[in-house]
Amino acid sequence: MPRVLPHSIGCAVSPSVPAETVVADGWSAFLLFFAVSEHVNSATGRLDDLGVAIVEFTECTCLRLGYPNDEGLPEHPLYEQGLSDLAFTVGEVHDSTWIRDVGAQMHASAERIWATRGIRPAARALRHFVVPLKEMTVECLASDVTLVKFVESFEEAHAYVHARQAEH
């Protein structure tokens, strides 16, 4: 049975500012959002604003985003498997049925395309990440998810992502 566990990236999504953005192409996927500290600042009693986070899904194989938003999250199939405990942070889905389904498709394609040529490509290690946001949920099959950096604005974040994508 799938189980969602917290996966710390060093920040959390601001629960009050719905400005999350996904930028993806055939080689990379990035999630941009207003970030706050993971823990309450003991001196102020509040979460610290950290700027705009640039988060990269490394070797993104599959990406889905959209419904549910924060109000609809209880209807997500993973809600009772730990998604309910995330609250604007990244989670990793262990024993993911999505990984099994996509992995089987990838294996069948590799066999059909390469086996007749005597080539056995290495299987890609997939991990299933889920990020519940204010206005949508993002799920990605990737090898990892990492916080790249914080920047001052979405304009700066988009410029960084577009420069990275131009490298391909």
Structure tokens at 96: 């993911």
Q: Has residue 105 got a pLDDT over 80?
A: yes
| pTM assigned to the model | 0.91
Q: Has residue 122 got a pLDDT over 70?
A: no
Q: Has residue 12 got a pLDDT over 80?
A: yes
Alpha carbons 7 and 20: distance in angstroms, whole number: 18
- Length of the chain equals 168
- Mean per-residue pLDDT, 109-130: 79
pLDDT at 96: 97
Structure tokens at 107: 């294996």
**pLDDT tens, 40-97?**
999 999 999 999 999 999 999 999 999 999 999 999 999 999 999 987 899 999 999 9
> Which residues fall within 8 angstroms of residue 90, CB to CB, at 6 or more apart?
6, 7, 8, 9, 55, 129, 130, 131, 145
What is the percent of the chain with per-residue pLDDT over 90, rounded to a whole number? 76
State whether residue 124 is helix, strand or coil. Answer: coil
φ/ψ of 31, rounded to 5, equals -115, 125
Q: Which of the residue ranges 16-30, 57-71, 89-103, 126-140 would you say has the lowest mean pLDDT?
A: 16-30
DSSP calls for 23-83: EE-SS-EEEEEEEE-SS--TTTSSPPEEEEEEEEEET--EEEEES--TTTGGGSTTGGGTG
φ/ψ of 61, rounded to 5, equals -100, -40
- Mean per-residue pLDDT, 135-148: 96
pLDDT at 28: 85
pLDDT at 16: 80
Alpha carbons 152 and 52: distance in angstroms, whole number: 6
Alpha carbons 25 and 63: distance in angstroms, whole number: 10
Alpha carbons 58 and 108: distance in angstroms, whole number: 23
